[in-house]
A and B are shown apart, each in its own frame.
Chain A
Amino acid sequence: MLQAMALHALANPARFQRFSRRILGPVALLATGFLAAGLYLALVQAPTDYQQGNTVRIMFVHVPAAWMAMAAYAALAACGASLLIWRHPLADIAQRAIAPLGAGLTLICLVTGALWGKPTWGTWWVWDARLTSMLVLLFLYIGHMALANAFDDRERGGRAAAILAIAGIINLPIIKFSVDWWYTLHQPASVLRLDGPTIHISLLIPLLVMAMGFLLYFVAVLLLRIEAGLAARRLETLSRRIG
């Protein structure tokens, strides 16, 4: 309850800006630290796989990108819901800030997956359920961006895009469970499992450090983009008042 109230307080743009300016520096610094440490652990420290050799190191980018792409979509839908329910002006700026980031993460996930798949599976791409549902996620992000900018009235576009974001949330459980429902080429979950991770600890630690780095990077860029969005709105209001 207290947390929810704190979040509502942050919906005030001025208060949000004070908060975001205070934490942006530390978050960016932490992101750099985690990514540097994660890359060192992943590229130098982690053992090579006895089957995949050094190719396995692609996973330390691929998996965190996939996690963050899905988390970003959940955040997008949450922003959409808060825009429709409470009409926070900040939620619209936030969802417009999230969509390209999420699309970029999805693209990273798909490209690294293809780079890994070629030497390991022997193919760049298969129409496997997990891969296809990630591709759908990319389309959802692109659709969101297109819809948000398709109207002369920006508020109208934001709210239509919010509805689309909420409708698309159905894709997230499909991505998560696709490897269990359709046992195809993509391997099943090895970290987020009910019976504990099956991945070896020497691979798990660099993976988690990288995931933390991705998360902090995402938050830092998101804060920057929201800041930029607020500045753009202010500029627009000012120029309208002058012109």
Chain B
Amino acid sequence: MNRFSLLLAHDLKLALRQSSDGLTVLTFFLLAVSLFPLGIGPEPTLLARIAPGVLWVGALLAALLSLDRLYQADLDDGTLDLLLSSDAPLPLLALARGLAHWLTTGLPLTLLAGVLAGMLGMTAEAIPSLLLALLLGTPTLSLLGGLGAALIVGARRAGPLVPLLILPLCIPVLIFGVAAGDMAAGGTPLFSLTVLAALLLGALALVPWGISAALRVAVE
């Protein structure tokens, strides 16, 4: 557990020192979302209708943007060898890295999404369940993204590869995330939220093992 918090603190400190990277992700999200009113016209009812989908897709793409270097930098400067030779279990370290990624991207994206949801004209009743859905869904995206980042460590051209690998796996999160925001307008979002929570628990249990296997393959 000690190693877990050490790695988490290390990652957060790095993210804080290079805070412009995090701001780039948020700016991208802001820009991508504001393209929609410009692209399809500022009609309020239409915007309110598509807002959950726009916010989810924007958050998904923004989260992917920050992924391709997640483990590559560790390989380049030798941190990965240290992590692998430490006595802490590798899946636990992968979990710490995923948590750090979520704290520096998923959480700020969720907070910003709350503001953007208001700008897109979502009703005050719909916004909380959308934010709750983002809060439950973005950690799963961080974990899956970590798997993608670990798989492509050392690849020739990594950039466009991570989205290609990870987006198909992210689709269930996207579907239920949007449904939670959508249903809030009428029915109950509880079902979608519980599915999102189930996906998160499943990802928490399984994905770190996949990341650890991928990292071991990478350094061999």
Using a CB–CB cutoff of 8 Å, the interface residues on chain A facing chain B are: 84, 132, 136, 139-140, 142-143, 146-147, 150-153, 156-157, 159-160, 163-164, 166-168, 170-171, 174
User: Which residue of chain A lies nearest to B165 when distances are taken between CB atoms in the complex?
Assistant: A143
Q: Apart from A146-B161, A163-B210, A167-B169, what 8 extra A-B contacts exist at CB < 8 Å?
A: A136-B171, A143-B168, A146-B164, A150-B156, A150-B157, A151-B154, A152-B156, A157-B155
Contact B172 A151 (CB under 8 A): no
* List of B residues within 8 angstroms of A168 by Cβ: 168-169
CA distance A153 to B220 in the complex (A): 11
Given the known A-B contacts A150-B161, A152-B156, are A160 and B168 also in contact in the complex, defined by CB atoms under 8 Å?
no
Which secondary structure dominates chain A's binding surface?
Answer: helix
Using a CB–CB cutoff of 8 Å, the interface residues on chain B facing chain A are: 147, 151-152, 154-158, 161, 164-165, 167-169, 171-172, 175, 210, 213-214, 217-218, 220
* List of A residues within 8 angstroms of B155 by Cβ: 147, 150-151, 157
Contact A147 B213 (CB under 8 A): no
* List of B residues within 8 angstroms of A171 by Cβ: 168
| Most-contacted residue by chain A among B155, B158, B172, B214 (CB, 10 A) | B155
Given the known A-B contacts A139-B164, A150-B156, A156-B218, are A163 and B151 also in contact in the complex, defined by CB atoms under 8 Å?
yes
User: Which residue of chain B lies nearest to A138 when distances are taken between CB atoms in the complex?
Assistant: B168
* List of A residues within 8 angstroms of B217 by Cβ: 156, 159-160, 163
26 of the cross-chain contacts (CB-CB < 8 Å) are A84-B213, A132-B171, A132-B175, A139-B168, A146-B161, A146-B164, A146-B165, A147-B165, A150-B152, A150-B157, A151-B155, A153-B154, A156-B154, A156-B217, A159-B217, A160-B151, A160-B152, A160-B218, A163-B210, A163-B213, A166-B210, A167-B169, A168-B168, A168-B169, A171-B168, A174-B172
CA distance A198 to B194 in the complex (A): 34
| Most-contacted residue by chain A among B151, B157, B218 (CB, 10 A) | B151
Contact A151 B161 (CB under 8 A): no
* List of A residues within 8 angstroms of B168 by Cβ: 136, 139-140, 143, 168, 171
Contact B156 A164 (CB under 8 A): no
Question: Nearest chain B CB to A51's CB is how many angstroms away?
Answer: 31
CA distance A159 to B150 in the complex (A): 12
CA distance A157 to B217 in the complex (A): 9
User: Which residue of chain B lies nearest to A162 when distances are taken between CB atoms in the complex?
Assistant: B217
CA distance A136 to B171 in the complex (A): 8
User: Which residue of chain A lies nearest to B211 when distances are taken between CB atoms in the complex?
Assistant: A163
